[in-house]
Amino acid sequence: MTNADMAAIVAPLFQPFTVKNVTLKNRIVMSPMTRAHSPDGVPGEDVAAYYRRRAEGEVGLIITEGVGTEDLASTDNLRIPVLREGAPLKGWKRVVDEVHAGGAKIFPQLWHQGVLRDARISAHPELLGRRPSGLWGPLGHNSLDPAYVESVAAPTVPMTEAEIAHVIETYARSAGYAKALGFDGIAIHAGHGYLIDSFFWGETNTRTDKWGGDRRGRTRFGVEVVKAIRAAIGPSMPIMYRFSQHKTQDYAARLADTPRALEDILVPLAEAGVDVFDASTRKFELPAFDGSPLNLAGWAKKVTGKPSMMVGSVGLNNTLPEMWKAGSAPVNNIPAVMERFNRGDFDLVAVGRSLLADPGFARRVRLGEPFVPFDKSVTTRLT
Ligand SMILES: Cc1cc2nc3c(=O)[nH]c(=O)nc-3n(C[C@H](O)[C@H](O)[C@H](O)COP(=O)(O)O)c2cc1C
């Protein structure tokens, strides 16, 4: 196939997309990726330049790496950026301005590590990781170092009402800062076993009060976070919500076993103010449930009627966990993306690792050019 043939196939991805008061110039989105290059939580010039390169490389939207909220117990590593008053906000202002100058929109991904935060390496070791029921999750179901898991997994104390209220309020405060800085929308990290996800999961939420119990109770925390953020940013700024079946603690865990269960979880979130669902999967080709070719993003759109975004191994031959073991190589799987996109399964296509390897990946897709070789060291370097 010639470059021109490929360019013709991908043309529908380069149509604008409008959600609330934001119009993206195309459907390619940079997936959130933790870089830990922001000393004391402050993104510097190098971080701004890193994001600007992706904007100039023609992505329509950048979702930043996970960013700690105003809750001091939201993140651990001191080099993870935060959205808190003072120097971090000045750093983010530069990032937002550079990305806009480069021609893209940008949402911060608000991240509370919750259950998975390692207090020992954080600026506030006196604050325990916030856990709905004090539980880390089942042992032995992941590829983490068993000695590490043993050192963090001992049960602690369940979150109190006051802590829950504080965490919700600080999400909203950080979202308000983001709006004031000129971010175009808010992305919420509610997947991968972190705080919000841990309220949904029976293995980490055994509460019997209104924050637990049945599926409806376990959905309440996520719903209240979305409502608080919506109240802080007003009606016209978009909110994107990332969820996943898998958890860091258990790759085989599932948020929802059936489309009906997914509907029960996502519809209240949509009603609370979510505008776009970001369905985090490792491989976009995989159907989410038996009996239908729809992937998880396809189902999110179908059960909520809201736009959705797919992700997972775009431009690469294997998944993130496979990459850690064996490395990854470029592959042109864009026609398989287009087959699903043209069917209307989802509205946006998120790209992770391929955009680390090549800041110009989106432009390359538009022009139908071959992809660059992939070296997994890009996951730690800020190139
Ligand atoms: C280095 C790295 C850091 C990541 N950090 C985050 C993160 O902060 N928040 C998040 O939601 N996902 C994170 N992810 C997952 C990506 O957003 C994406 O979903 C995943 O890499 C699959 O997409 P890909 O196959 O195109 O890389 C990270 C992935 C990588 C490679």
pLDDT in tens, 327-361: 999 999 999 999 999 999 999 999 999 999 999 99
Average pLDDT, the chain: 97
- Buried b / exposed e along 93-114 (16+ C-beta atoms within 10 A): bbbbebbbebebbbbbbbbbbb
Q: Which residues line ligand 1 (CB under 6 A)?
A: 31-34, 65-66, 109, 189, 242, 280, 311-314, 316, 320, 351-354, 379
Q: For 139-166, what is each residue's pLDDT tens digit? A: 878 888 999 999 999 999 999 999 999 9
pLDDT in tens, 170-196: 999 999 999 999 999 999 999 999 999
Tell which atom from ligand 1 comes closest to the C-alpha of 192. 11
Indicate which residue of 148, 194, 241, 251 is catalytic.
Answer: 194
In the prediction, which pLDDT does 140 show? 79
Q: Closest ligand 1 atom, CA of 109?
A: 9
- Return phi, psi of residue 277, to 5°: -100, 125
- Catalytic-residue membership of 194: yes
Is residue 347 within 8 A of residue 337, CB to CB? The reply is: no
pLDDT value, residue 142: 84
Take atom 29 of ligand 1 and give the residue whose Cα is closest.
Answer: 33
The DSSP annotation for 143-180 comes to SS-HHHHHHH-S---PPPHHHHHHHHHHHHHHHHHHHH
CA of 14 to the centre of ligand 1 (A): 23
* Exposure of 22 in the CB half-sphere (CA atoms within 13 A): 26
pLDDT at 360: 98
366: which 2 tokens? 């538009």
Local structure of 348: helix, strand or coil:
strand
Ligand 1 atom closest to the Cα of residue 282 is 22
pLDDT at 143: 83
8 Å CB contact between 261 and 217: no
Q: Which domains does the chain have, with CATH numbers?
A: 3-379 (3.20.20.70)
For residue 49, the model assigns a pLDDT of 98
- Give 245 Cα–ligand 1 centroid separation in angstroms: 15
